[in-house]
Amino acid sequence: MRRWGRVTKFLSLFSLCLLLAVSCTPSPQTNTPTSGAVNTPAGDGRITIGTTSKPRTLDPADAYELASLGLVFNMSDRLYTYEPGSTEIKPQLATALPKVSADGLTYTIPLRQGVVFHDDTPFNAKAMEFSIQRFIENKGKPSFLLSDTIDSVKATGDYELTIKLKKPFAAFPSLLAFSGVCPVSPKAYEIGAGKFKPNIFVGTGAYKLAQYGTDSLRLDVFDKYWGEKTANKGINVQIQTSPVNLFNAFKTGAVDVAYLSLQPDQIRSLEAGAKNGDWQAITAQGSVVSYMVLNRNQKPLDKPEVRSAIASLIDRPLLNERVLLGQADPLYSMIPTTFNVSQPLFKDKYGDGKFEEAKKLLTTAGFSQQNPAKVQIWYPASSPTRSLAAQTLKSLADTKLDGILQLEVKTVEGATFFKEISKGLYPVALLDWYPDFLDPDNYVQPFLACEKGSETKGCEDGGSQTQGSFYYSETMNKLIAQQRKEQNPEARKKIFADIQNQVVTDVPYVPLWQNKDYVFAQKGVTDVKLDPTQNLIYKTIKK
């Protein structure tokens, strides 16, 4: 089920979650390669990329972490992809957007001809059918993305693919842009539960895998690539063991580009160097959001006034300054500003640091200095950002609310946290969200949908139960179903407006901030770009 896929993703990305404030932060690479490492002389036209993100697998049917997906992304093509800086999809191996049947269930996709895999196997509809079936049937970590949605996939022509859905889903084309939903050579892979090949990759992308070591990878240019040629002569990926090593490797010029998982203070230092002309800093709006979960089944959060009071207490500019060092943007909707449907309704209704309003709401709910509302805030251990955020919120409550609200900060080991949150053990939790695909639905359905529940008991089975809010609203369930069926963008936008209005009234979650993505490049390195899904685009980089 998707909800468990979400929990898996949290666990898989735990090391990144530790850097919640800088989910967008650049990933480091190794400066001193060991066995199997790649050493390349300067001036050979290759680009050296540094990161701390170590891939678990290169098998697209099992890749569900940024480290793995970023590599798969650069060695593959998908049916659809994104323009840098845009969440609008465009055809890649497809030659047009899908033709959708009147009932919204059947998608017919024309495919590109003249494409070959890295092993010279021709790409066609049968190969794409094989790849999608493998993604589903091998039951890897991201398999639920398609298994929950697709009823059947079939090559209905040499270069025509027909996909039938279990139920209408307007965001379906965005799923086909997920990095792991890429064609792989039928000669190199097989279908079967658990039949993965983590150490190879045979796709159709601009690069082919030449070497895969424990601390480095070498990607060579695929000379039979169908599309635009790469601006460089290959990529060396160096995997650093720590942000400190990545930071030092970049500062000494050992890597051309540094991306993913630098610490906030290191980012601040490198930004200062960029302003002095020492190197370049490239920033992009991120798609990762950080938020607070409010468990409506835990007292005193069962009272709407208490949830609203907490929303009024939040001071996002203060959090951005003290916790995030300015490396994020305040967020006022669970749908990030990446999408044009996002509306800053939490700013309109609750603002930032509205302490008098918070006190009034708490008093209305029956609380006072003599009878304070006591609430625990939980977060996964070893997360310095969330720790500081929780302590900042506690300080605000202690100093601004006259003792009417008492916050207690609690932490627990990460694996335990993500296992227990769906059991309702945590009144308030601090989390972040890495989207699987870029559509507003992915910031709504996993948080607010509930398959089984009631207004009285809350959610017993569904997205909101998995997230720990236990939110239940029949109206919300209907709105989610409506936007998933609606093919008209403007009509769908109005439904998302209704959803956001409902959230700001019911307050099952409080949005906190939206990440920024940071990449650092040496002087003379050009065309460094990020895909909206946080992937660094290798083929445009040159020096």
**Which residues fall within 8 angstroms of residue 531, CB to CB, at 6 or more apart?**
73, 81, 82, 84, 537
**pLDDT tens string 268-304:** 999 999 999 999 999 998 899 999 999 999 999 999 9
- The whole-angstrom separation of Cα 106 and Cα 280 is 46
pLDDT surpasses 90 at 128: yes
- In this predicted structure, the answer to whether residue 394 has a pLDDT above a threshold of 90 is yes
Q: Is 539 within 8 Å of 327 (Cβ atoms)? A: no
Residues 150-190 have pLDDT tens digits of 999 999 999 999 999 999 999 999 999 999 999 999 999 99
What are the pLDDT digits (tens) for 79-123?
A: 999 987 788 899 999 999 999 999 999 999 999 999 999 999 999
| pLDDT at residue 42, rounded to an integer | 55
Both tokens of residue 412? 């627990």
**pLDDT for 351:** 97
pLDDT at position 69: 95
Report the number of secondary-structure helices (H) and strands (E) in the chain. 18, 21
Given this model, what pLDDT does residue 27 score?
35
> How does pLDDT run across 300-335, given as a tens digit for each residue?
999 999 999 999 999 999 999 999 999 999 999 999
pLDDT of residue 37: 44
In 326-461, which ranges are continuous DSSP H helix? 345-349, 355-364, 384-400, 414-420, 445-448
Task: Label residue 23 by pLDDT band (50, 70, 90).
Answer: very low
Contact residues for 275 (Cβ-Cβ < 8 A; gap 6+): none
pLDDT on residue 16: 38
What confidence tens digit (pLDDT) does each residue in 439-455 have? 999 999 999 999 999 99
Single pTM value for the model: 0.86
28 pLDDT band (50/70/90 cuts)? very low
The predicted model gives 193-219 an average pLDDT of 97
HEC sequence for 439-458: CHHHHCHHHHCCCEEECCCE
Q: pLDDT value at position 51? A: 97
Q: How far apart are CA 437 and CA 4, in angstroms?
A: 16
Q: Which helix (H) or strand (E) holds 258?
A: strand 257-259
Q: How many CB atoms lie within 10 A of CB 318?
A: 16
pLDDT (mean) for 8-21 = 38
Among the ranges given (15-29, 368-382, 473-487, 513-527), the one the predictor scored with the smallest mean pLDDT: 15-29
- C-beta of residue 316 within 8 angstroms of C-beta of residue 289: no
Q: What is the pLDDT of residues 329-342, one digit of tens each?
A: 999 999 999 999 99
Helix-helix angle 489-506:474-485, to 10 degrees = 160
Residue 254's alpha-carbon distances to 31, 50, 281, 500, 528, in angstroms, are 6, 9, 17, 47, 17
- 16 or 462: which carries more pLDDT confidence? 462
Distances (CA, A) of 215 to 33, 233, 428: 6, 21, 39
